[in-house]
Amino acid sequence: MNDASPEEFIAGQTGEVGLVSWQDFVCAEPFHFENGGKIPSFTLRYETYGRLNAAGDNAILICHALSGDHHCAGIHSILDSKSGWWNNIIGPGKPVDTGKWFVVCSNCLGGCVGSTGPSSVNPETGEPYYASFPLLTIRDMVRAQKKLLDHLGVTRLYAVVGGSMGGMQALQWMIDFPDYVEKVVALATTARQSAQAIAFDAVGRSAILQDPGWNGGRYEPGKGPNVGLSVARMMAHITYLSDQSMEEKFGRSKTEEAGAGKTLFGTEFQVESYLRHQGKSFINRFDANTYLYFTKALDLFDLYTPTGKLEDTFAVVKSRVLVVGFTSDWLYPPEQNRDLVHALLRAGKKATYAQLDMKLGHDSFLVHAPELYRLVGGFLES
């Protein structure tokens, strides 16, 4: 492109989107939730990379997972040591090529990184929604994103791309807005959570709800159920990794603190120290109420509803779909990903399944994965 934006200039030949900044979209109309309840207005915080074409049809929507946000590529400041969470895959010349496509990513409705969620102030009462925030679903997240895309002048999505909870959103997009979505890329996801996946979410919620700091959902920012949230995060983090990757990364390595195995209440093992760090850092960047609402949305997501047949749900789909499962993902195992494609094929849709032998478990879609990049890039180009 001739009229390079500052970020493209900074990015130069590095293939990076470079400096980016977020914006807030305020939807001043009431938002009605799928399961009842409404809010008088809402904000979505978002970032865009690349340029929307005149027809408004070259946009790719990126949907984030449970603990993600709108900042999926680039840096906010030249002092940032870390780029956005999917910087690997988004940028000029990368699979999600910002030289060709207008890339949009928003913090989901219900979130805690700028978008309206339970910790946001209810304009009608002047105080935070807390637990009065309506029950949230994946469909609600998608409908809020649609308002943002309308506002941005996107007439049609070239693609929706997401993993895990983001994959659920991608699937919901092609069902709820079949004429609006050309391609869907859903990674490490499922048509509905298994009993075991629900169970892990339930224990995490229980840790938060039983923490006196939760206080019925009313707590000062940063002063909430930090113990419960950190425990929930530590446990969930195990489900994002694989047995093998933990074994290779940590094995039974001890901490320095461990001494001669006499550390009863300290951190004896490296894996213990790693998880405690994960729990601790999470409470500084995530809201416990959002965690409750998001995990509930995951648990309630069920594309088998209401007919009990997945292919019936997919009857409306017009998008071309790529689903990718990862062999070591035991949260949403390969079979659950494959089943999505089988149901799409039974419904006569254009869908393909790819399965990657990666060791890193559920989070494989977030790590450096050239084979995945080639798959996604090829599918988006085709």
Residues of this chain that interact with a second copy (CB under 8 A) are: 35-36, 131, 135, 192-196, 198-200, 202-203, 205-207, 209-212, 217, 227-228, 230-231, 234-235, 238, 241, 243, 246-247, 249-252, 260-262, 264-265, 267-269, 271-272, 275-276, 279, 292-293, 296, 299-300, 302, 330, 333
* Cα(86)–Cα(72) distance, integer angstroms: 5
Choose the catalytic residue: 273, 339, 362, 364: 362
Q: Could you tell me which residues are beta bridge partners of residue 49? A: 103
Q: What 3-state class would DSSP assign to 357?
A: coil
What is the smallest separation between the CB atom of 373 and a second copy, expressed in angstroms?
Answer: 28
Q: Could you tell me which residues are beta bridge partners of residue 341? A: none
Please name the amino acid found at residue 86. W
Does the active-site annotation cover 342? no
Torsion of Cα atoms, 232 then 234 then 238 then 239, to 10°: 20
Q: What 3-state class would DSSP assign to 128?
A: strand
In the complex with a second copy, the residue whose CB is nearer, 21 or 35, is 35
Choose the catalytic residue: 83, 120, 164, 230: 164
Indicate the length of the chain as a whole number. Answer: 382
- Residue the block writes with tokens 């000062």: 220
What is the DSSP secondary structure assignment for residue 26, as one 8-state letter?
E
In the complex with a second copy, the residue whose CB is nearer, 147 or 249, is 249
Dihedral sign for Cα atoms in the order 50, 325, 234, 218: positive
Does the active-site annotation cover 362? yes
What is the smallest separation between the CB atom of 244 and a second copy, expressed in angstroms?
Answer: 9
Please name the amino acid found at residue 132. S
Residue 332 burial (CB < 10 Å; 0-12/13-18/19+)? buried
What is the smallest separation between the CB atom of 236 and a second copy, expressed in angstroms?
Answer: 10
In the complex with a second copy, the residue whose CB is nearer, 252 or 368, is 252
* Cα(340)–Cα(186) distance, integer angstroms: 10
- Asked if residues 177 and 146 have their Cβ atoms less than 8 Å apart, the reply is yes
Cβ-count burial 3-15 (b if 16+ within 10 Å, e if not): eebebbebbeeeb
Dihedral sign for Cα atoms in the order 176, 178, 180, 185: positive
CB atoms within 10 A of CB 21: 10
Dihedral sign for Cα atoms in the order 12, 14, 17, 18: negative
Choose the catalytic residue: 69, 201, 329, 339: 329
In the complex with a second copy, the residue whose CB is nearer, 1 or 203, is 203
What is the smallest separation between the CB atom of 196 and a second copy, expressed in angstroms?
Answer: 5
What is the smallest separation between the CB atom of 148 and a second copy, expressed in angstroms?
Answer: 25
Does the active-site annotation cover 329? yes
In the complex with a second copy, the residue whose CB is nearer, 76 or 254, is 254
What is the smallest separation between the CB atom of 363 and a second copy, expressed in angstroms?
Answer: 14
In the complex with a second copy, the residue whose CB is nearer, 92 or 134, is 134
Q: Which residues are part of the catalytic machinery?
A: 164, 329, 362
